[in-house]
Amino acid sequence: MKAWKIAAAILLTCIFIIVSESVHKIHNESRIIESSNAGFLMQHKVQPVHRGQEFPPKLVVRITTSLQSHLYKVFLMSKPAIEPDTGAEYVATEARLADGAIDDYEVTMQQYPVGSTVSYYFKVEGINGTVFVTLPTYAETDSTDVLSITFEDYAPIWLVILQKMSRGATILTVMLAFFACFEIVRRPESLSLVGKQSFWAAIFLLGNVVFSALLQLRTDGPHGWGGWPFGAFDFTDTLLEVTVIIWIIITILLKGSVFSGIPAGNLVSSRAARAGIIASSILTIGVIMLHAAS
């Protein structure tokens, strides 16, 4: 295999890993949202994930208004997010001014089991029950215009390392097979290398599925992994399992090249193998990127 193809595979692997990690970080990073009405401005820093079971999440909302604080109250409205929606009512918990603060209201949300997702929003009420403002703006009239927080646990560092290493090894092996397969029609002897790369792609993919499942079960609870037929169905988890099956099938079809180095023992032609590996490589990279970013 030519040196430039190896270098290209390594470079693309690094790019794919950086992009997937960046998208995952953006997807889970905090953000500040605001809402205003009736002379009130509400601001809140949204934390999509609460990690750890030692302490319940403490939420802070900033209220800017000229109205005196004793003329209104701030409430956190929360309920577990359940699909399908059972129509359960939101539970109100009053927020209090933080110690030494003049506009920051604090409220502690109750702790939920790992894997739970809670829908919530804030509202400001007058002493007569009039709602001045909600955050998000249409939370009281639109059931989809609410915030959510997911409860997760910490994962052991060794499991995180193994999961990321298996993902990186999978991407690199798949990219090597992708570049190498273009030569197998012109140089049939290179089919042995491609067959072995396909075999290792299946092995690394299987490892990635196992470590990803263990990681998600640890951080998100018993239903953290949704690959069929395990847990609640999840499209990306199931797709990752499908890619393992695809590369196992490719390995079997190239069994002659993989296990004995004899292309005559393969079950498909070189052209069919090339087409299958190109399509499978593109699919696999896409699935891994999608799964890493979710």
Helices and strands, number each (H, E), in the chain: 6, 10
pLDDT given for residue 115 in this prediction: 87
pLDDT by residue, tens only, the chain of 294 residues: 788 889 999 999 999 999 988 888 887 788 999 999 999 999 999 999 998 888 899 999 999 999 998 899 999 999 998 766 667 889 999 999 999 888 999 999 999 999 899 999 999 999 889 999 999 999 999 988 999 999 999 999 999 999 999 999 999 999 999 999 988 878 877 888 999 999 999 999 999 999 999 999 999 887 788 877 766 678 889 999 999 999 999 999 999 988 888 888 889 998 999 999 999 999 999 999 988 887
pLDDT of residue 84: 61
pLDDT tens for 62-115 read: 999 999 988 999 999 999 987 666 678 899 999 999 998 889 999 999 999 998
Asked if 270 and 185 count as a contact pair (C-beta separation under 8 A), the reply is yes
Query: For residue 251, what is the enclosing H or E element?
Result: helix 235-253
Domains of the chain, residue spans? 3-26+155-293, 38-152
Which fold does the domain 38-152 belong to in CATH? Answer: Immunoglobulin-like (2.60.40)
Contact 1, 180 (CB under 8 A): yes
Cis, peptide link before residue 80, omega less than 30° from 0: no
- Looking at residue 138, its pLDDT comes to 94
∠ CA 212-216-221, rounded to 5°: 155
Q: Can you list the pairs that 137-140 forms with residues at least 24 positions away whose Cβ atoms lie under 8 Å?
A: 137/35, 137/37, 139/77
For residue 176, the surrounding DSSP H or E stretch is: helix 157-180
Q: What are the tokens at 232?
A: 């609640």
pTM to 2 decimals?
0.82
Q: Give the pLDDT confidence score for residue 56 in this predicted structure.
A: 93
CA atoms of 113 and 29, how far apart (whole Å): 21
- pLDDT at position 202 is 96
pLDDT value, residue 143: 87
